Structure 1
């Protein structure tokens, strides 16, 4: 099995990338971690699409999802919603293929430094994924990230959250 993991963020110090990577590595499966910075495209507009077509990077991103057996995404929350980086990739890809997630099983995560745990964006992602052919197997919000995750070791330090995450990863790959 091949797991594809990425953060829905373009931050070079993304806590969500750390979380997605950690979650994917809880399995013994082959893991590929994507960086949204490798898929930076002009801001989507119908004018750009009509003038230039769909960027190759959008097609490449879609192909990466197609090559995976399961997907782990950890969402950053910007003003209660998706990050602009993720939304732009999503907008471009969904223009040529509405079924962006290609019926892949998914684990959706979100985290923030504060007590909200990016719950708003996670709820939106969980609700919308099935409309784009995503099979959500589980989700987890991780609040107070720096209190429950050690960035130096790249590991969850909160045992209850870690157990929940291990169980969700197991559910994803079974």
Structure 2
């Protein structure tokens, strides 16, 4: 059985991206899903001075261990002013200091959603460019616009969007 991490790239307790990542990961047939909450990995803001003075915090090592122990990652990114959330960027900054390849050559399904009509497309495009340089094997990517209108407890409600998502999920499954 494949072990897959479901990560919402936000520290919001009510993160729609965490909800979306968890739902998407649970759409995988026969996978063991582990939800990852960034709030469980609260870290000081990264700086070389803090690293030199105190070393790399245990929470960063714990996050890296989760990645290394997984067969795949479903990551749904929140878009904050066109980029990654501060919490997500900070944890990846710390983890990148442990060893090269933050994502440990792990297959990844990149997602983004937002309440707006662009669905986090800006951060998703950025991530598609950046993540391969950080050791992710991006196997699929999908943006869900207007989360409140296009998603409910059963999942993606718009048939066209659901079909597009399923194509990306299939590509990710094949990469696992």
Query: What's the TM-score once normalised by structure 2's chain length?
Result: 0.95
Change (3 A) 1:172 1:42: same
Q: How many residues align?
A: 172
1:88-145 CA distance string (max 9 Å, x none): 1011001122301111111000011001111111111110111111111110111111
Equivalent in 78, 97, 103 of residue 76 of structure 1:
78
| Matching residue of 2:97 | 95
Deviation for aligned residue 1:168: 1.7
* 2: CA distance, partners of 1:171 / 1:27: 11
* 2: CA distance, partners of 1:20 / 1:68: 15
List gaps (5 residues or longer) in structure 2: none
* 1: CA distance, partners of 2:159 / 2:6: 22
Deviant stretches of 4+, over 3 Å: none
Query: What's the TM-score once normalised by structure 1's chain length?
Result: 0.96
1:61-92 CA distance string (max 9 Å, x none): 00000111011100000000000000110110
Deviation for aligned residue 1:154: 5.1
Structure 1, 72-81 or 159-168: larger mean CA deviation: 159-168
| Matching residue of 1:133 | 135
| Matching residue of 2:160 | 160
Q: Is the 8 A contact 1:2 1:68 kept in 2?
A: yes
* 2: CA distance, partners of 1:69 / 1:160: 29
Q: Is the 8 A contact 1:104 1:133 kept in 2?
A: yes
Equivalent in 85, 88, 101 of residue 87 of structure 2:
85
1:5-154 equivalences in 2 (<5 Å): 5-28=6-29, 29-150=31-152, 153=153
* 2: CA distance, partners of 1:109 / 1:170: 14
Give 3-state SS (helix, strand or coil) of 2:97's partner.
Answer: helix
CA RMSD, 1 decimal: 1.0
* 2: CA distance, partners of 1:156 / 1:146: 10
